[in-house]
Amino acid sequence: MKSSLLLPLALFSLLTAARADDAFVPLFDGKTLTGWEQHSGTAEYRVENEAIVGKTVPNTGNSFLCTAKKYGDFILELEFKVDLSMNSGIQFRSNFYDKDTEIEVAGKMKKIPADRVHGYQFEIDPSPRAFTGGVYDEGRRGWLFDLKENEAARKAFKQGDWNKARIECKGDSIKTFINGVPAADFKDAMTKEGVIALQVHGVGKKTEAIGKEVMWRNIRIQELK
């Protein structure tokens, strides 16, 4: 290829990448929880050092800080850092009801309590199991895609450090990545739209688990047409 063509092609690639990056919009302003609302449990959420910090408290179920807006097809990217003794997650295409509601799950009727967030979850799992990046169906069917057969994704999680999550939803296709490594990849059409939410797992009365923290930052989304 002639060198005279290299510069225009390079500029085209840079402009294309820039346009793709511009398509992302922030879900968190780095200063306040504007655009977010808490549901289900009573864990503590605050903003510190341009990150959302979730803190465990006793005697509550799982807590979720949810976007006020629902999203269907999208690419979601964010960074997270979690205490090694915690379990957490990032909800997507998730929902909650104003009152107790029965829904059909796997051919059976299941009662969803009022305000209980349920739906797809990008698992955050710093335990030796190392399923961070797998997809769990919170409050409904349980595991949809664990990482038993994906050793590369299990090894991609960085203990005690910031990690990057990426979730891609388009139609019935769901894909996740942890630090750029493909994790889950499957099809499921049970829910096509819902909120994004940040989970602080309930710890009951376990005194040693109270006051543990998980952090999220640089939360941004690109809605797909």
Read off the pLDDT of residues 204-215 as tens digits, 9 standing for 90 and up.
Answer: 777 777 788 999
On whether residue 19 sits in a domain, the answer given is no
| 106 confidence band (pLDDT: 50, 70, 90) | confident
Q: Minimum mean pLDDT among 5-14, 75-84, 115-124, 171-180: which range? A: 5-14
State the pLDDT confidence band at 6, using cuts at 50, 70 and 90. low
Q: Which range marks the domain in which residue 68 is found?
A: 26-223
pLDDT at 210: 78
Look at residue 10 and tell me if it is in a domain: no
CATH number of residue 172's parent domain = 2.60.120.560
Q: What is the mean pLDDT of residues 144-167?
A: 97
Q: Which residue has the tokens 């139609």?
A: 171
Identify whether 182 is part of a domain. yes
Q: Could you tell me where the DSSP H helices lie in the chain? A: 3-22, 151-156
Is the confidence at residue 145, as pLDDT, over 60? yes
Q: What is the pLDDT of residue 200?
A: 95
Average pLDDT of span 187-200: 97
Give percent of the chain above pLDDT 90: 79
- Count of domains observed in the chain: 1
- 4 part of a folded domain: no
Q: How far is CA 125 from CA 69, 121, 142, 151, 170, in A?
A: 26, 12, 15, 14, 25
Give me the mean pLDDT over the 179-189 stretch.
97
Other CB atoms within 10 A of residue 205 CB: 8
Between residues 21 and 25, the one the model is more confident about:
25
Residue 137 lies in a domain: yes
Q: Is residue 57 part of a domain?
A: yes
CA angle 33, 37, 43 (to 5 degrees): 90
Mean pLDDT, to the nearest integer, of 180-186?
98
The answer to whether residue 7 sits within a structural domain is: no
* Within a domain: 133: yes
Answer whether 118's CB lies under 8 Å from 94's CB: yes
pLDDT digits (tens, 9 = 90+) for 78-93: 999 999 988 999 999 9
Helix H or strand E segment including 17:
helix 3-22
CA atoms in the 13 A half-sphere facing the CB of 151:
0
**CB-based contact 217:50 (threshold 8 Å):** yes
pTM of the model: 0.88
Residue 206 pLDDT: 74
Diameter of the chain by CA atoms?
A: 69
Judge whether 199 and 91 are in contact, CB under 8 Å.
yes
Is the CA virtual torsion 166, 92, 89, 106 positive or negative? negative
Radius of gyration for the alpha carbons in the chain, expressed in angstroms and rounded: 19
Mean pLDDT of 85-113: 94
